[in-house]
């Protein structure tokens, strides 16, 4: 199953999962909307885990992404790799941050 999470940056590319939810199966090529209730604080990042598919990545004009080729949701102070100038089609909205 796919998971969505919020991450706190401990230092550099070391992140920990603040909160997460399992969102289930997402079929390749679909654009889907999910309603989740995740704790988020100022400066957090949103991320996801997709076990059996590929992510729709944009290659130019973005600030970059952290990644790991394994299920690290949840994780505690895990070191992620970083790719410059990439981005994912992932968005979150809500009532504000704490």
Averaged over 7-30, what is the pLDDT?
91
CB atoms within 10 A of CB 58: 12
Q: Is residue 96 situated within a structural domain?
A: no
Per-residue confidence (pLDDT) for residue 29, from 0 to 100: 75
Residue 74 belongs to a domain: yes
- 78: enclosing H helix or E strand: strand 78-79
pTM of the model: 0.82
81, part of any domain: yes
Domain count, the chain: 1
In a domain, 7, yes or no: yes
Confidence tier at 17 by pLDDT (50, 70, 90): very high
pLDDT digits (tens, 9 = 90+) for 69-91: 899 999 999 999 988 877 777 77
pLDDT in tens, 27-63: 777 778 888 999 999 999 988 898 876 666 666 677 7
Residues spanned by the domain of 58: 2-88
95 is a domain residue: no
**23 in a structural domain:** yes
- In a domain, residue 33? The reply is yes
């Amino acid at each position: 199953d796919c998971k969505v999470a919020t991450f706190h940056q401990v230092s550099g590319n070391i992140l920990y999962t603040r909160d997460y939810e399992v969102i289930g199966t997402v079929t390749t090529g679909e654009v889907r909307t999910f309603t989740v209730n995740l704790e988020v604080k100022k400066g957090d990042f949103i991320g996801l885990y997709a076990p059996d598919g590929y992510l729709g990545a944009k290659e130019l004009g973005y600030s970059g992404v952290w990644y790991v080729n394994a299920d690290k949701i949840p994780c505690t102070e895990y070191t992620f790799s970083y790719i410059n100038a990439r981005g994912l089609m992932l968005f979150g909205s809500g009532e504000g941050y704490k």
